[in-house]
């Protein structure tokens, strides 16, 4: 793009003014006398945001105590009882119910259950068909 030849002088002035204006510093430093710190206090919205951040961090933290493993046979009995109560369980729910280490629980689930990847019960475990029939037929 080029300016018209008749306006070339005006355009030159405009460009010089624009560059001079951009070189001037518009910010100023001002010393505040007798300040009690009222300007440095957090606003009400800032305090609420800090509280929400703390609440979000708390659930992510797991318990500090280690979970102890139970006997495998005892755990299988507990698992069958849980699956009698409800047919589908997530791993997190089972960890809360049994209070067992995650890896130990996964090993047991690998033997006893099927993991649902798809469908309405996605992300849950359900008993294998051979165990379902066995629990239906016997009464403890």
In the predicted structure, residue 62 carries a pLDDT above the cut 70: no
In the predicted structure, residue 137 carries a pLDDT above the cut 60: no
pLDDT at 124: 92
Q: Is 79 exposed, middle or buried (0-12, 13-18, 19+ CB in 10 A)?
A: buried
In the predicted structure, residue 46 carries a pLDDT above the cut 60: yes
- Please answer whether residues 109 and 125 qualify as being in contact, where contact means their C-beta atoms are separated by less than 8 angstroms: yes
11 closest CA partner among 3, 22, 20, 23: 3
Q: Which domains can be identified in the chain, with CATH numbers? A: 72-135 (1.10.10.10)
Q: Which residue has the higher pLDDT, 60 or 11?
A: 11
Q: How far apart are CA 93 and CA 85, in angstroms?
A: 13
Average pLDDT taken over every residue of the chain: 79
Interhelix angle 72-85/102-112, nearest 10 degrees? 70
In the predicted structure, residue 52 carries a pLDDT above the cut 60: no
Taking the whole predicted model, whether its pTM rises above 0.75 is answered as: no
């Amino acid at each position: 793009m080029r300016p018209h030849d008749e306006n070339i002088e005006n355009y030159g002035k405009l460009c010089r003014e624009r560059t001079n204006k951009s070189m001037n510093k518009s910010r100023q430093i001002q010393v505040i006398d007798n300040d009690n710190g009222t300007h440095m206090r957090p606003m009400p919205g800032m305090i609420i945001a800090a509280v929400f951040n703390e609440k979000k961090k708390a659930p992510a933290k797991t318990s500090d105590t280690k979970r102890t493993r139970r006997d495998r046979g005892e755990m299988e009995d507990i698992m069958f009882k849980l699956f009698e109560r409800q047919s589908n369980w997530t791993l997190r729910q089972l960890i809360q119910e049994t209070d067992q280490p995650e890896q130990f629980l996964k090993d047991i689930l690998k033997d006893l259950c099927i993991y649902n990847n798809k469908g309405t019960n996605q992300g849950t475990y359900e008993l294998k068909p051979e165990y379902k029939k066995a629990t239906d037929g016997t009464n403890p």
